[in-house]
Amino acid sequence: MKSTVVAVAAAVLAGGVNAGRVHAHRNAHQALFERKPQFNESEVCVPSCTTIYSTIVGEPTIVQPTRPAVTSTTKAVVPTSSGPVTVPTPVAQTCPTPGTYTFPATTVVVTETTTACAASTTKVPSGTHTLGGVTTVVTTATTVVCPYATTSTENGVVTSVIKTTTYVCPSAGTYTIAPITTTVTAPETTVVVPVVTTICPGTYTAPAVVTTITETSVVVYCPFTSSEAPAPTLAPAPTSPAPTSVAVSEPAKPSSAAPSPSAPALGGKGKLWAMTYTPYREDGNCKTAEEVMVDVGGIASAGFTTLRVYSTDCDTLPNVGAAARKYSLRLIVGIFIGKVGCDNGSPDVAEQISALKKWAEWDLVDLCVVANEALFNGFCTVSELAGLISHTKTELASVGYSGPFTTTDVVSAWIGNDVSAICSVIDVVATNAHAYFNSQTLPSDAGKFVAGQLAIVENVCGKPGYVMETGWPSAGKCNGVACAGEAEQRAAIESIGNELGPKVVFFSFKDDPWKQPGACDCEQHWGIASVFGAV
């Protein structure tokens, strides 16, 4: 079925969280490090929605076929049709036994903007994964009504549906609505996640296909292509094309972008690689060069080889750079985006690029990270961020930097957008993954969770991936089975280190009393120096 939106919902918070520049004053750089609930938050909402949506039963997108197979040379079981296709979502055809199947051409004419279920696929390794959902940011208490995609099972048939949820957001914050949790036992599996999609008016056609199946239990997805029509009643449906013969020897596998031909050598060689470092005192003011030198010496003595810095404020580059050189540490440098917009001419961006060009000690630098969770926070669009990365590459190349670039974001931002433009301008892919914000993850399983998140992001661009932030709080509330505490922090850090320590940047060096405690009462307690004896 389809459901027509009765009224246009208000735009989703055009400005996001009003985060100040990281170096402006002691409270402004808090936005840089506030933990983001990623997939399994109990409070869910989307701000500013005013439209009431009906519950819609979408076209099947998981396993149920919508068109029958006409012929089969082996008399295979013919799938049962569920009725005519009314929206151009991918059509899933189940071929239960080997044979030759014919799927006739189908044309769908959409006369008005329609909301329906669609399917998003991603590869995941074995383990429990929480995927999908709608993530948003609110700046004030808000009562909302909003749609979300989920699945419904009836008589063994799994169907995607759109439902609604109403929630009173008690305060400003970041919320994720209705994620789906799935457990995978195979080494690697492609998981289908239902998503809400908007279909514009036009004529959509899925061509006829004849396919020979040699494997059992193959599901074939037949996509539609669109041809916009100003008035479908005036444009006759196109003639069905002749059937195309397709030989299929195994289940179709989704393609991914080709890996970078010369992937940079990053990461550690043992269980430790990098730690995030910000030169702020407990009151939020800047540390002196001498204080930075002491901190970096402690980090080096703990066995870390690399520091990640986020921006150029507080004389980060000269002070941290000098300390890194003294203790033979490498650097991951960055440009921080703390407000809506990624204009290359922004004074904030220009100032940071200028500081990097002036410092230019590239023999210390292994990676440049342009923006931290800018997509998730709504600070950048995909095209803006891709443009900013390209601009930064050109600017830094002019003063001798030839190393790799990336941007980092949470998994929901990577899989919730078409990020192909970003994939084309980065050398490696990166994510921030905090198992504490998944209510079903024990501290001892933090490593498996983070590894699963990294695997998902690596598959998005088909490039090597790294975790730019991961950790666990030493104090705060329990989030389901994910409880904060000193013992829990040690268990989580050990689990992450054992699972993929050479590919993660631990967050962070010291606790940050200058932050607000947050809803989790944990924001001030992510320091892990004591775990590694780096105090």
Cis check: omega of the bond before 508, within 30 degrees of 0: yes
Structure tokens at 270: 């043992």
Tell the residue number behind the tokens 């299929």, with chain if given: 248
Residues in a beta bridge with 197: 116
- Indicate which residue of 458, 469, 488, 499 is catalytic: 469
Structure tokens at 320: 């941290």
Q: For this structure, is 494 an active site residue?
A: no
The residue written with tokens 């001798």 in the block is: 400
* Residue 60, token pair as written in the block: 């099947």
Catalytic residue status for 469: yes
Q: For the chain, what is the radius of gyration of the CA atoms?
A: 25
- The residue among 268, 277, 259, 265 whose CA lies nearest residue 504 is 268
Burial class (CB in 10 A: 0-12, 13-18, 19+), 390: middle
- Which residue(s) pair with 437 in the sheet? none
Query: DSSP assignment, residue 421?
Result: H
Query: How many angstroms separate the CA atoms of 511 and 474, rounded?
Result: 9
φ and ψ at residue 495, rounded to 5 degrees: -65, -45
DSSP state of 59: P
DSSP, collapsed to helix, strand or coil, labels residue 206 as strand
**Could you tell me if 199 and 88 are in contact, meaning their C-beta atoms sit under 8 angstroms apart?**
yes
Q: Work out the burial of residue 41: count CB atoms within 10 Å of its CB; fewer than 13 is exposed, 13-18 middle, 19 or more buried.
A: buried
- Nearest alpha carbon to residue 59 among 119, 139, 107, 147: 119
Distance in angstroms (rounded) separating the CA atoms of residues 488 and 411: 24
Encoded tokens for 87: 């929206």
The catalytically annotated residue of 41, 59, 373, 458 is 373
Contact 447, 497 (CB under 8 A): yes
CA distance 267 to 383: 28
496 phi and psi angles, rounded to 5 deg: -65, -45
Supply the DSSP symbol for 463.
S
Q: Which residue has the tokens 């044309």?
A: 107
- Please state, in angstroms and rounded to a whole number, the distance separating the CA atoms of residues 96 and 164: 34
Count of residues making up the chain: 535
Q: Name the phi and psi angles at 408, rounded to 5.
A: -130, 145
379 vs 338: CA distance, rounded Å: 7
Could you list the active site residues?
A: 373, 469
